[in-house]
Chains A and B, each alone.
Chain A
Amino acid sequence: MTVESTAAARKPRRASKRTSAAKKPQSAEPQLVQLLTPEGERVEHPDYSIDLSADELRGLYRDMVLTRRFDAEATALQRQGELGLWASLLGQEAAQIGSGRALRDDDYVFPTYREHGVAWCRGVDPTNLLGMFRGVNHGGWDPNSNNFHLYTIVIGSQTLHATGYAMGVAKDGADSAVIAYFGDGASSQGDVAESFTFSAVYNAPVVFFCQNNQWAISEPTERQTRVPLYQRAQGYGFPGVRVDGNDVLACLAVTRSALERARRGEGPTLVEAFTYRMGAHTTSDDPTKYRADEERAAWEAKDPILRLRAYLEKDKLADEAFFTALDEESETLGKRVREAVRAMPDPDPMALFEHGYADGNSLVDEERAQFAAYQASFADSAEEGK
């Protein structure tokens, strides 16, 4: 073995010019579909018009505020040791509420692990999302009761499930659509490429909703792609569109249009919601290690909630009473979530052996019996000790 040099002798080595990757994709930044500017001005787009009542606009605002409140509560609960981990959606409320509110009840959603706002739109009780992060279960809801699939941790896997589900929808002759959520990092996975191929060649009614929040843990989007992500779709033979992911109206309009296209039997669409992960990747992550504060500050100016609020106020679509009532509702939600988590019991140890198989398994039965006897032996010795 050759183990001669020492730590002191180490010096940085110059990166070779040929192999070092360029920092930025070469093409110019494309236009975003936008219907509401960061200042809260309504603007029109030739392809995506939207006409919402004041009630509907307030509804979107309420959704975003309550989702953010829920998210903040979960982050706090993690800090207090009530949750083992939390993946915050801070900054991505518009992408999630906009796309989520574009869905019909019979549509089916395949999320990753950060789609708390979409879950909200599906009517999944937010406390159900916390079991997995507390460590008491691996999911904890019935996907079929709200057409909202379980969170998926293995990056990109769910895009294939969504595609297959959509193939089934088409086979059944139904006109529902399917939506698959994933991140910019996930776009590098083979599974995502394969789901693009399958959905295109089978003309599956699926919308790929990529929340490009600029980061995959510490890796910027440039580490995943040299072309703007939405342009990937073209190579597979379906349309791709980039939408301002911090503009809830644009997200709603673009997703709605893609879903309608799927329903008409015209196949998949890739929507790239251009947004930003304001917080850490998860509560275990430390973004100061890899990204600059200025970047975050620049995105803060595009905040999805403040933008809609500015519009509501300017156009007198909501009054002070609305905002005050919503503040109260937020606090009530926070309190309810806090209490629900604290009351969430640890699973019974025998739950280890539940649900491994639908039809049962003799080996598991044997191990269950051995485990029960082993557990009982402690109870017996505790009895004897009395």
Chain B
Amino acid sequence: MAVEKMSIAKALNESLRLALDNDPKVLIMGEDVGKLGGVFRITDGLQKDFGEDRVIDTPLAESGIVGTAIGLALRGYRPIVEIQFDGFVFPAYDQIVTQLAKMHARALGKIKLPVVVRIPYGGGIGAVEHHSESPEALFAHVAGLKVVSPSNASDAYWMMQQAVQSDDPIIFFEPKRRYWDKGEVDTESIPGPLHKAVTVREGSDLTLVAYGPMVKVCVEAAAAAQEEGKSIEVLDLRSMSPIDFDAVQRSAEKTGRVVVVHEAPVFYGSGAEIAARITERCFYHLEAPVLRVGGYHVPYPPARLEDEYLPGLDRVLDAVDRSLAF
């Protein structure tokens, strides 16, 4: 049996190691990824074992990192780049949005851009500004990019393998406050496709839709609701672009009520897309409007206020009550 218990951080590290091992064209690039092993140690030990030409410490320049990764991909490499923190992806946003996302289409499909952009994202670690952002909607809105986020160690391991093997550019959001959460990883049995949603808890009264860091909160909320006799289903989207709307629809039709939960601001967030799409797809099955729980339309607050900002158990349960009251 190849089942091991490991943290999300360790699962990512093992998965990157496997990717380097399997394919000599795979490269890892980023600030501090070499000797230091990354500020979160996700690339720990990889430079030591694979050399400076495979695990490349880059200058402190995000546009440069992504722009050169594009060039390397054009030359047949498969770069996995690390952006140190969510808030620092923006110097590279131009390269990602105007170049990485569109080149395949512009070349009428003749070239492929197998680039993975890893971004530790989200709040809850008490950091200073620009270290706790959830910019997934900004990327999901851009055609040509795929956007995913694991919520547990097994997904971290396997979704990374799948992302590296994808010929499309993937924005791989890692829920940084879950890095140290442990879970079982079966390194032999390959799970379902990268963009498929997974039901992490069955229920019949209401569906909580989440991804990344909020999946754990939703599972806890469902357990708490259970004690009050409410049966809550929890769906882990895993992929924010594309979204497995069939899975959301199936669950919505089963329970009749949907609450979407994410850390990013609700306004123009991924919850808006899900709510609209589900309303279109299963209007007559819904017992209540699709509700959303997330951040406010304010700059991500200083650390001492982030508990107020981030959706916790109470805010999720409050939305569950409001939905059930319709």
Contact = CB atoms under 8 A, between A and B. Distances in A.
A351 B305 contact: yes
Interface string B47-84: 01111111001111101100000000000000000000
A223 B59 contact: yes
A284 interface: yes
A153 interface: yes
Contacts of B299: 138, 356
Given A1-B165, A367-B296, A153 B129 contact: yes
Interface stretch (A14-22, A42-50, A241-249): A14-22
Interface residues on B, range: 35 or more
A349 interface: yes
Contacts of A219: 31-32, 57, 59-60
A250 B14 CA distance: 50
Interface string A155-176: 1000000000000000000000
B304 to A, nearest CB: 5
A12 B126 CA distance: 37
Given A12-B50, A216-B60, A1 B162 contact: yes
A188 B129 CA distance: 22
A153 B21 contact: no
A191 B304 contact: no
Contacts of B297: 356, 361, 363-364, 367
Given A153-B129, A363-B267, A13 B50 contact: yes
Given A5-B18, A84-B126, A135 B304 contact: yes
Contact of A352 (B32, B39, B162, B296): B296
B98 interface: no
B308 A352 contact: yes
A9 interface: yes
Contacts of B17: 7, 10
Contacts of A363: 267, 297
A376 interface: no
Given A132-B128, A134-B304, A155 B60 contact: yes
Interface in B108-163: 126-131, 161-162
Interface stretch (B86-94, B213-221, B249-257, B273-281): B86-94
A380 to B, nearest CB: 13
A154 B57 CA distance: 19
A218 B63 contact: no
Interface string A218-247: 110001100000000000000000000000
Contacts of A346: 304-305
B298 interface: yes
B169 interface: no
Contacts of B31: 216-217, 219
A134 B318 CA distance: 30
Nearest to B296: A367
Contact of A186 (B60, B126, B190): B60
A191 to B, nearest CB: 7
B51 A364 contact: no
Contacts of A285: 39
B35 interface: yes
A185 B60 contact: yes
B302 A138 contact: yes
Given A84-B126, A138-B302, A289 B37 contact: yes
Given A4-B22, A155-B60, A364-B297, A13 B305 contact: no
A12 B59 contact: no
B61 A189 contact: yes
Contacts of B161: 1, 3
Nearest to B20: A10
A224 B90 contact: no
Contacts of B126: 84, 135
A198 interface: no
B203 interface: no
Given A85-B128, A190-B64, A352-B308, A15 B51 contact: yes
Interface string A1-40: 1111101011111111001110000000000000000000
A222 to B, nearest CB: 10
B183 interface: no
B301 interface: yes
Interface string A181-193: 0000110111100
Interface in B19-49: 21-24, 31-32, 34-37, 39, 48-49
Contacts of B315: 374
A348 B166 CA distance: 46
A189 B301 CA distance: 26
Given A134-B304, A135-B126, A346-B304, A364 B298 contact: yes
A137 interface: yes
B280 to A, nearest CB: 24
Contact of B91 (A16, A191, A284, A377): A191
A353 interface: yes
B272 interface: no
Contact of A1 (B127, B129, B190, B303): B190
A13 B27 CA distance: 13
B309 interface: yes
Interface string A343-378: 000110101110010000101100100010010011
Contacts of B53: 13, 15-16, 19-20
Contacts of B32: 217-219
Nearest to A138: B129
B128 A15 contact: no
A347 B304 CA distance: 7
Interface of A: 1-5, 7, 9-16, 19-21, 84-85, 131-138, 153-155, 185-186, 188-191, 216-219, 223-224, 284-285, 289-290, 346-347, 349, 351-353, 356, 361, 363-364, 367, 371, 374, 377-378
Minimum-distance CB pairs A-B, first 4: A135-B303, A218-B36, A188-B59, A185-B60
26 contacts: A1-B161, A5-B21, A9-B21, A10-B49, A12-B50, A13-B24, A13-B50, A13-B51, A14-B51, A132-B128, A132-B129, A135-B304, A138-B128, A153-B128, A186-B60, A188-B61, A218-B32, A219-B60, A223-B57, A347-B302, A347-B304, A347-B305, A349-B308, A356-B298, A371-B308, A378-B314
Given A132-B302, A134-B304, 9 more contacts: A3-B161, A5-B21, A12-B49, A19-B53, A135-B126, A135-B302, A138-B129, A290-B36, A352-B309
